[in-house]
A = this chain, B = another copy of it.
Amino acid sequence: KELQSRLSEDSGGAMSKEAFRQAVNNTLERRLFYIPSFKIYRGVAGLYDYGPPGCAVKANVIAFWRQHYVLEENMLEVDCPCVTPEVVLKASGHVDKFTDLMVKDEKTGMCYRADHLLKDYCKDKLEKDLLLSPEKVNELKQVLAVLDELSAEALGAKIKEYGITAPDTKNPLSDPYPFNLMFATSIGPSGLSPGYLRPETAQGIFVNFKDLYYYNGNKLPFAAAQIGQAFRNEISPRQGLLRVREFTLAEIEHFVNPDDKSHPKFKNVADLEFFLYSREEQMALKSPIKIRLGEAVAKGTINNETLGYFIGRTYLFLTALGIHKERLRFRQHLQNEMAHYAADCWDAEIECSYGWVECVGLADRSAYDLKAHTEKSAVPLVAHETYPEPREVEKLVITPAKRELGLAFKKNQKMIVEALEAMSEAEAMELKAHLESEGKAPFQVCTLGQTVTLTKDMVSISKEIKKEHQRVFTPSVIEPSFGVGRIIYCLYEHCFYTRPSKAGDEQYNVFSFPPLLAPIKCTVFPLVQNEKYEVTAQLISKSLTGAGISHKIDITGTSIGKRYARTDELGVPFAITVDSETSVTIRERDSKEQIRVSVEEVASVVKEVTEGQSTWGDVLWRYPTHTTNTADD
């Protein structure tokens, strides 16, 4: 009921979305789910604190993530520092490429994201300029569509063409230039060791691949995981809690044999059905379609079983926390969105008042990261596969005749020997053919900068059959990466609704958090201020502590209706009201239904419904319902 009114409000116009967002954020900030960081000093854009209930929600999300992924899949969890030396992020490509294009107000030096200014200009024009020609409308829409892919030059040209100026001063703007989004620092006192705050946790796992592979008994596949802070020095953070400068990531790197990306547990998720938005549908301007995961993998829409398995597990993870199935989709990256080395990428996108928001990235990054660190560190980050039976492999054998080469080329002999040994198979076979047909052949020696003439007796080239017992290869990595704060913000929006007070004069806010997510599982209220009831409330509190249920007692004299409203706003799923010394009522937040349970049983009943052994529907049958006459409720 309330759900539907909320959804219809959501899908309404831009204004109602903003009003909804305002209502959610007012509640969140008033109840300290979050606090703008360093607020008494007027804050810092893009930095937020989690206040007490937000902190509990975050701890619940992280604990469930650890349970759902790390423990369930026996992943190797690591915990690496945020401070990272430059060499690591040079190898990963972040020092050179982790940039946004920026323009400066030429007079004040104020900085803006170039694409934001262009986007705002186009949107504004499209919304407000009623005299635009159809061609102009098309042009502006086209600019918006390709915004993410414009080069610095193209962006600069558009800004000039449209005459865009600094929004705050109307001053002219500089040309766009790349600004690196990593927070820079210096490690140690010398000032000679540049470092950065990590922009992601993944690199800490990649550089440890060798040790982790050994720890896993030198066996593939295995996954490592890390939960921790990451940092992006955004040029001008917008979109409140969605685009921040410091955030918590939970990342998995699943290392797998590139020739075998099957997954033994894929069958457990193959029958899940949810929205996929494949590259094909996007290109055809179609909508996402609901499809069986098994079918999407079988058809090749999703590249492989392991990637498919993680997509399925992520669907289960997000919906268990309270994300609505209908407002969740997995969108495949378009070819030009994807890094050149990636085999396939999907984003879990969640719809909220800001639109569809990327909350989880699931990418098959092939062997890129391990190869990059192997090259830069000279430590081979590779896996070994021992064949059950030795395999016969054709091998190229190049044997330069050093004596003949020495006689012919004197001091250049060494360079020529090295060049011969460095030939690719194709080059060698071509040289061999040439020598055999002509008796001699030209041979280019790069290191000498000249081409020499070789004769048949100077090198022997052949292919031999050799027995191999193992092969060495760089594993592929499949990376599910979770933006914890973004998921939490979307959960807030999906769980929020309002309902009128009984008198109809007020709107009450409710967060319909599932017990798993709720910051506090239960409150205990003595119905009236009265010593006997308070003693009973304390008794119940002790048994709840014993059962490991987080809860709060509220002994203020406020009306029971007000107290319910207060806990509904924190998303507390159950409220125990003490109205006698022998039995009490338990009220469920969303239905407002109440049951009567004995004081002895109450903790175990609450435990059952918060830990998921039973649903509220189950216990509703077992205990007498209680109807209240309180006007407030």
Contact = CB atoms under 8 A, between A and B. Distances in A.
A40 B82 CA distance: 17
Given A35-B211, A185-B183, A235-B189, A56 B40 contact: no
B84 A38 contact: yes
Given A49-B208, A185-B183, A55 B40 contact: no
Given A37-B81, A58-B79, A82-B82, A51 B186 contact: no
B187 A233 contact: yes
Contact of A51 (B189, B211, B235): B211
Contacts of A229: 82, 229
A434 interface: no
A51 B183 contact: no
Interface stretch (A10-18, A70-78, A526-534): A70-78
B52 A78 contact: yes
A362 interface: no
Contact of A233 (B109, B188, B197): B188
Given A35-B211, A51-B211, A215-B32, A187 B245 contact: yes
Interface string A357-394: 00000000000000001001101010000000000000
A190 B234 CA distance: 11
Contacts of A52: 76-78, 212, 215
A23 interface: no
Nearest to A51: B78
B40 A210 contact: yes
A39 B207 CA distance: 8
Nearest to A179: B189
B190 A82 contact: no
A162 interface: no
Interface in A40-85: 40-41, 44-45, 47-52, 54-56, 58-59, 66, 71, 74, 76-85
A80 B37 contact: yes
A594 to B, nearest CB: 26
28 contacts: A32-B215, A35-B78, A35-B211, A37-B80, A38-B85, A38-B207, A39-B207, A39-B211, A40-B207, A40-B377, A40-B379, A44-B187, A44-B195, A45-B188, A49-B208, A50-B79, A51-B78, A51-B212, A71-B545, A71-B550, A83-B197, A83-B231, A83-B245, A111-B189, A183-B186, A183-B187, A217-B556, A229-B229
Which 8 A-B pairs have CB atoms at the shortest separation, nearest pair first? A50-B79, A40-B377, A40-B379, A111-B189, A52-B76, A81-B246, A55-B77, A49-B80
